[in-house]
Structure 1
Amino acid sequence: MFGVIFLIGIFANLDKSMIGFTADKLISTYGFTKAQMGNLSSVFYVSFILVTIPGGWLVDRFGYKKFVVISLAVLMVFSFLFGTVSSLFAILFLRFMVGFGQAGYTNGSPKIISDSFEADQCARIQSFVVATAGIGGILASTVGESIIHTNWHHAYWFLGFGYLAALLLAVIFLKEHKKEEPLEQTKTVEKKEKIGFFDAWKNRNTLLLAGAVLFSNLVGVAMMFWLPNVFHVNFNIENPAMLSSVMVGFYVIMTIAMASSGIILTKYFKNKELTFIFWASVLTAVCLVIFITAPLYQLAIAALYVGDFAMMLAFSGLLAVPYQLIPRNIIGSAFAVLNIGAFVGGIVSPQLVSTFARSGSYTISFIVLAVCMVISGGLALLVKKPGQVKETEKNQQLRKQMNHAKA
């Protein structure tokens, strides 16, 4: 089970990471503008949201296998088609369709983890699944970048075959699985599984975490999408091999951060996860400013890598804490809300960066991204632990009783 979702995650994140190299290639090959390439990312996240709004609730109600299998079929077909076109309209349209497929996997994986593992294991499993973003990035910066540099169409045919392999494995090995409940709890469980469409939207912690994920993912998407072009514009790096090595380092650190985040949070910051997320976000913001303003290339790279590590720890933490703070019966729906926050950030991100970018510099854009990271950390601090929520509800009940007594 874990192996299947891990492999799917690698190909899904290879897809997401390759698009930055593809956009850079399209700009130089066809003369597309930065704003037009910003739309390439935005349309992807628009379709993502359209599926995600009902997707999490449907996964909670009816299971995850159908969603994952259908999503992989969609990804396979439209990745192959993406590798056959060259007009701007066709490129944007097919990227829009790829977003539908990516959403199916993203909504299904949290439910797979929640149903297949115990609560104290979910954070670690989630961290390994999220780490596929880094592995996909490494593959994109090496294999993907090499193929894109030669012929970008071939890169998406390669990706299509990867999705085909993942689809076959999902059909064979992916099974619906729920942890067994004691017989005396069966009726209660059945009642809990009658989930309202808006139940997750009424959960305060879900909404705060969604806001934090929005701003954090906004920065992450901006980094993955624009870094190749930032190195061209701000640092005058034109050598593809040099650019590839820098990006490989970026994704290796991302992978290490994501894979280790579950262990770091559970072993060293248990019950202090939200405070840790805040300070990791602040550190990321500081590093972003140093990176884009550093007078020395070596200092800029050091700041980039430290910021990358801190950013991924914070982001992974935001995706791990819901398993502790949000009721299991709405976990799929809750992650759908978080994903919508992430995707809104993904839609806004490319346009935000291109709006503040100047012809010869991305400095202002990165300062804006630093502010977004601080906002993300601040929202995380507002999230309440279950005990705090119960205490608040108890205090509200007491106030109501006192008001009735006075009346």
Structure 2
Amino acid sequence: MTKAQDYVETVKQTIKQRDPEQTDFQEAVFTVLDSLTPVLEKHPEYIEANLLRRIVEPERVIEFRVPWQDDTGHFQVNRGYRVQFNSAIGPYKGGLRFHPSVNLSTVKFLGFEQVFKNSLTGLPIGGGKGGSDFDPKGKSDSEVMRFCQSFMTELARHIGPDLDVPAGDIGVGGREVGYLFGAYKRLCGFKNGVLTGKNLTFGGSAARTEATGYGLLYYTQSMLKAHNDSLKDKKIKISGSGNVALYALQKANELGATVLTVSDSNGYVYDPNGINDKIVQQIKEVERGRIKEYAQQVDSAQYFEGSVWDQDIDYDIALPCATQNEINAQQAELLVKDGARYIAEGANMPNQTAAIKVYQDHGIYYGPGKAANAGGVAVSALEMSQNSERLSWSFEEVDAKLAQIMHEIFTKSEKAAQEYGMDGNYQAGANIAGFNKVATAMMVQGLV
């Protein structure tokens, strides 16, 4: 075992001992650390500075109670979190997630991933994440507002335009961001850049809603181009039907591909003629219905209960956009059998570690989430720039910048993989490219 390998294993053992119950966090960290051995061999000064131990430990973890009153007059209490992971290249930046599954391990893994995702964008933003185990589903607007006001009462003292700039995530859309911003304004005064994902009437950016889904397709487009391929006439499986999936569907249709599936937590629809994004948008965003309603409106579509990744059909590209760990090794084997050649992650960590190994063993080109779904945070950072300049750019301007950023993310990942003898391994390339920028910043700043 080399000195670099021994160092990586020592750091992994320390994490297991310190946080044995944080399995999500361990999985995210170990995936990155396993990619960094060749970097450490080239830069022994990183080992001497114990850089990995510093980079896997958040700079700050904030946990707080969130008391709020429901519509019946009863008092409820949830937990709130903000993990400010790394500020080496800029203020902490990352979303807030409101979902019953949120716990400290989840927030830490998302914050750790965010550090390198933000680094890959080339924009001056550090990494953080936050949220609560509050579930906005089934709650009235008044209940969501009261929760957001209570949540921000504590969070406000820890954030600011040059310190920490939260955004939305699962369960936190335009409604929630509006309530959070209003609460912050009452507490601290109007500071336009304190949150991103805002409404266009008070400092939001055009194309922010579409950014993650569009960015996923721009990244996928670059990945295919690197192999003398294109999206035109490709058959695509998409999971999910939320924001990311919807706008990935829309952009895929624009670029000449045929999307065969979309899904929700109950099941999926399959349409061999291609999913119509306008109908999905009407069902999910306007009517707030279930995806099975698509099959009731479109004669060529069929609805099935269960996971879309258990369906056996021929297709070319997989874009998982639903949730964490949605694809296991058996489903990955089916993906290979069905002829898919490319997979890019629209969700955060939708592939289990064993599934990723299947892709690597079978030569499937795999775009990890920290690269492929970075479009959302990229446009959030562009929103910060517009707020700082008191400007508002057009949709076309922002979309063009997004496309360029996603192309550069792929290019950086590709070059890093090639430099360290792992040509075609875009996961390792993304990890290395994201790490190198943060590592350099930490080294030149001294003991941080």
TM-score (norm 2): 0.24
Highest RCO, 1 vs 2 (Cα 8 Å, sep ≥ 6):
1
Greater per-residue helix proportion: 1
Greater per-residue strand proportion: 2
